Amino acid sequence: MLRLCQVRPERLDYYLNVTKSISKDPFAERDGYWLGSGPASFGLGGDVRAADLYLIGSGRHPTSNLLLNRYQASVTYAATDATFAAPKTVSLLHALGSEEVRDQIMLAHRKSVEESMAFIDRRLVRVRQSKDGVRTQTRGSIFGAAVFEHRLSRSLDPHLHSHLLIMNLAHKSSLTSESATSWSAFHAAPLFFHCGLLGALYRSNLRNEMTRSLGVRWTARRHGWYDLEGFSQAMVSAFSRRQGEILADLATSGYSSNYATAISAKQSRKPREHSSSYEELANRWLDRSFLAGISATRLREVTESHTPKFPVEVSPVAETIDRVGGTLNTRPAMTTLLRAVVDELPNGVRITDLEDHVADAIERHSLAKPTELWPFGPRADHRTPRQTLIHEKARSRNGSSFGIDCAPNKQSLEERDPASLSYAR
C-alpha cells in the first residue's frame, strides 16, 4: 500500500522524534538513512542527522549552508512523503516470526522501497522551468530521500512501513554541479497521479523478494491484492484495531468513499504512545496471536512447508505480458499495461525485471507499442498536486487512487475489506 502527502519544513520533526538518537521513550525506531546519489555527493552517508535533514529540507547545502535553489523562498514543501506499507499478513509474520524470518522480511521490504525510489527517479521526476515567459518541464534527477522505517500502527499493532521522504530538490541534468542554479523544486504531480501504479509495483517487488528468500506462497484477497497463505481474515482483524477505529468513525459519518476514509483516518488518529518497549509489545502480540489461532506451528508452516525455494524465475512474466497485452486495447497506455501485468502475478516481479520484459516484448513485436512510453503521464504533466487532488476527488465515486491505494469505493461499508485500510498509522 502507498500513501502520499507533502511535508512542510516544520513537520520534519515528526519523523525524527521517534528515532533512537532523539527519543527518550522505551520504544524507539531505528534512525533514518539516506538513499540516492544526491546525499552521497554532499558527503551525507549512513544515518540521517536532524541538522542535515532540516538544512536539506530548507534547500540549503548541509556543509556550507548556502541556498541550492535561488527560488527557494517560493517553495512551500520540504519533501514528499511516500509511505510504503507491507500487507498486514507480512507485518504479522515480521512481528511474530523467528529472528531469521524478520531479517529476511525487512530486507525484502527495504529492497522494494529502494526499487520503487529508483523507478520514481528514472520515470516520474520532472523539473519545471520558465524561459521567455514560457513554462516548460524537463527530465530531472531527484536529490534523494531520507527513509524512516516504522513497525507499529497508532493502535500499537504490527504495521511494517517506511516513510520515503523525497526531498524537494531536483537536478535538471546531472549531479556534477552544486551551484544554486542547478537545483529546483521537482514537479510532484506525476507521483500523485500514478500513486496506484507505484503501490502495485512495490507490492509486486515485495512478493517476489519474499518468494525468493522465504519460499512463501500468496493467495488473492481480491484482484491485484495478495496476502500470505496461512492467515485467515479473523487473524488479520485481531491485529487491525486501527482499521476498526476508522470503520467506526465512517459508520458514524455515514459515508464510505475513499476520500471519506482518509478524513476518518485523520479524525480518529491518536497521539503516539510509546511507553512500552518493543519486547513488551511483542509479548502482548504473542498472547493475542494464541487467542486468534496463530500458533508457532502455523508460523513455521508459512515459511517452511514449501521447500525447496522457488527457482530464480518465480513468475511467468513474459507470458503474462503477452497474454495481458492481448486482452487490453490495441495500444494500451504503459501505466495500464504495467498495472494489469503485476496484478496477474501472485509471486510478483522485480520492478527492473518488469521493465526489461516489457521492452523486450515491444522489441519482439509481441506487444503493440504503448501510446504512452517512458516517461509517463502527459495528462499528469500539466497538473499541480492540488489540481490532481481536485481531479481525484471528482473521480472518487469510480474508485480514486489518490493518496490511498485501496479498494474502489463502490462497496458498501459492510462489504469493504478491513485489510484495505492498513495504510493508516
Reduce the secondary structure of 183-235 to three states and give it as a string: EECECCHHHHHCHHHHHHHHHHHHHHHHHHHHCCCEEEEECCEEEECCCCHHH
Are the CB atoms for 14 and 54 separated by under 8 Å? no
Helix (DSSP H) and strand (DSSP E) numbers for the chain: 17, 12
Residue entry with cell 507485518: 91
Pairing of the two strands 145-152 and 158-167:
antiparallel
How many CA atoms lie within 13 Å of 167's alpha carbon, on the beta-carbon side? 33
pLDDT for 350 equals 93
Exposed e or buried b for every residue in 357-379, given b needs 16+ CB within 10 A? bbeebbeeeebbebebeeebbee
Q: In whole angstroms, give the CA distance from residue 264 to residue 96.
A: 29
Q: In whole angstroms, give the CA distance from residue 236 to residue 96.
A: 13
CA distances, 180 to each of 53, 126, 221 (Å):
18, 18, 49
Q: What is the pTM of this model?
A: 0.81
By residue range, what is the domain housing residue 182?
A: 2-421
pLDDT for 84 equals 96
Phi, psi of 162 (to 5 degrees): -125, 135
CA-only gyration radius of the chain, Å: 22
Q: In whole angstroms, give the CA distance from residue 200 to residue 202.
A: 5
Which three cell numbers mark 411? 462497496
Give the chain's domain count.
1
pLDDT for 362 equals 85
Which residues of 233-286 form beta strands (DSSP E)?
none
Q: In whole angstroms, give the CA distance from residue 282 to residue 99.
A: 12
Which three cell numbers mark 273? 504512545
Of residues 424, 3, 412, 87, the one with CA closest to residue 245: 424
Are the CB atoms for 95 and 151 separated by under 8 Å? yes
Q: In whole angstroms, give the CA distance from residue 415 to residue 418.
A: 9
pLDDT for 422 equals 39
Give the bridge partners for 67, in sequence order: 60
Give the SS3 label for residue 127: strand
Tens place of pLDDT per residue across the chain (425 aa): 788 999 999 999 999 998 988 988 888 889 999 998 888 888 887 899 999 999 999 989 888 888 888 888 888 899 999 999 999 999 999 998 888 999 999 999 999 999 999 999 888 888 877 666 666 777 788 888 999 999 988 888 899 999 999 999 888 754 444 444 478 888 888 888 889 999 999 999 999 999 998 889 999 988 889 999 888 888 887 787 777 777 777 777 777 777 777 777 777 677 777 778 888 888 888 888 887 878 777 888 887 754 445 454 556 888 888 888 878 767 778 888 899 999 999 999 999 999 999 888 888 888 878 776 665 544 444 445 555 555 555 554 443 333 333 333 333 333 334 344 333 34
Q: In whole angstroms, give the CA distance from residue 190 to residue 382.
A: 9
Q: In whole angstroms, give the CA distance from residue 48 to residue 149.
A: 12
